[in-house]
Homo-oligomer: A and B are copies of this chain.
């Protein structure tokens, strides 16, 4: 989406680009998440705790946004943790700066709406995936969507992202090898 020079300059001023080593915790649960993060390079995962177990809610790759999106929009403390899995290049913009940007450059508000919409549609897809596909089908689809995911994300996170146990994922993979 094309933006005016003024808007682009404004974005450049408020964006915060930096290198982040792997295993960094970008966001802790029970804190407010004042940023959304755009992944220029690397992989991150969003997870939460359910019965003392880590559940991976989201995996973010290059070109995608990763954020504790519940908190980012509501201003309440998040349930989510964010961890960087691979050395990454991240570009972050704070909530306050976003508000300022949207107010002063209305065309960017539209961009914001489009970005949320895109995320919404991906979540909608994910929802459909869960409602009526078997664990095996979900695994196949994930591999097609992110062919290099096996090299980049450990299997227990993948299992969790697929909503299954690691044992079930192992069984599915054993099937695959034959």
Contacts and interface: CB of A to CB of B under 8 A. Distances in A.
Contacts of A117: 73, 116
Interface residues of A, number: 28
Contact of A109 (B50, B57, B106, B119): B106
B121 A119 contact: no
A102 interface: yes
A120 B132 CA distance: 20
Interface stretch (A4-12, A16-24, A30-38, A122-130): A122-130
A55 interface: yes
17 contacts: A48-B128, A55-B131, A55-B132, A69-B120, A69-B124, A70-B121, A73-B120, A106-B106, A112-B113, A113-B113, A116-B116, A116-B117, A123-B124, A127-B127, A130-B131, A130-B163, A132-B163
